[in-house]
Amino acid sequence: MKPEPLDPEHADDTPAWEPAAEMEVTDPAAVEILWHVEKRVHLQPFMGRTADLATAAGQLRISKTAMSYWMGRLSDVGLIRLVRVEKRGRHRIRHYRCVADRLRVSLLEAPLSSYEGVLDDFTQRWQIQARAAMARSLARQAPDLELCLSHTGAAAGMSSTILPRPGRQAPPDDFIQYWARLWLTDDEATRLADELNALYDRYAALSDKTTKTVPTLLQLSQVRETQR
C-alpha cells in the first residue's frame, strides 16, 4: 500500500495528544481483538511507542497490505490513534500509537480457547528460559543419567523419563519438576494451595538481586482438574 500523495497546501494539523497511562477496554469489538493472541499481536508495534506502516509490518514480518488492514481495524475500535504525520518528499507518513501504555480487559465473556491462548502467551517467556536452564542442567549431569522409554498401554503408546544410570548414585537435584495428579479432598486441596503460597512468600522475602548470586527460576502450579 503506497502512502497517499502529500497535499502541499495543507500542513500537518494532527491535534496534540498523549496516551493514557492505563485504560480499561470495554468495547466488544476491541475486547475481541485483545482476547485473541493471533489478533492482538498486531498491536505490539504500537505499545509504548509510535510506529508507521512500514515499521510495524517489518517488526511483525508481514506484508504492508496485511498490516494496513490491521491498523485500520485497530484504529476503528479505538486501540491506536494517529500521533503525527511526517512529510517525506511528496508523501505523508502516518505514525500511530496505542491509546494507553497499559490496557486492562475483563475476563468475562471470553471463550475457553482464548483463555488457553492467554496462558500460553504470558508463560512463553518463562518457559523458554526454564527449558534452556533445565537443558543445561541435564548436560551437566549427563554422566549419571539416562533417558528411559516405556510402553504405557494407552493410546499414546510410549512415555519417557530421566532416571539415574544403573550402578550410579542419583546426582543432587539441579532442578526439580513434578507433574502429578493427586486425589484430594476439598480441604486438602485448599491446604496445598495455602502451603505453596506460603513457600513462595517465604523465599520471595529472601530474594535480593543486589547481594545474592544464585538466580533461581520458580514455577508453582496447582489447579483443580474439571471432571469430564
- Grid cell for residue 12: 500537518
Alpha-carbon gap, residue 44 to 65, rounded angstroms:
17
pLDDT digits (tens, 9 = 90+) for 149-181: 877 666 657 777 888 888 877 777 677 777 788
Q: What is the CATH number of domain 23-105?
A: 1.10.10.10
Alpha-carbon gap, residue 179 to 58, rounded angstroms:
40
Alpha-carbon gap, residue 201 to 64, rounded angstroms:
47
Q: What are phi and psi of 26, to 5 degrees?
A: -125, -15
Q: Domain ranges in the chain?
A: 23-105, 112-206
Confidence at 227, pLDDT banded by 50, 70, 90: low
| Range with top average pLDDT, 78-92, 110-124, 139-153 | 78-92
Find out whether 78 and 46 touch, Cβ atoms under 8 Å: no
| Range with top average pLDDT, 18-27, 85-94, 107-116 | 18-27
The pTM (predicted TM-score) of the whole model is 0.57
- DSSP structure class, residue 41: G
pLDDT digits (tens, 9 = 90+) for 38-78: 898 999 999 999 999 999 999 999 999 999 999 999 999 99
Nearest residue to 80 (alpha-carbon basis) of 125, 41, 50, 123: 50
- Grid cell for residue 44: 505490539
Nearest residue to 104 (alpha-carbon basis) of 46, 23, 20: 23
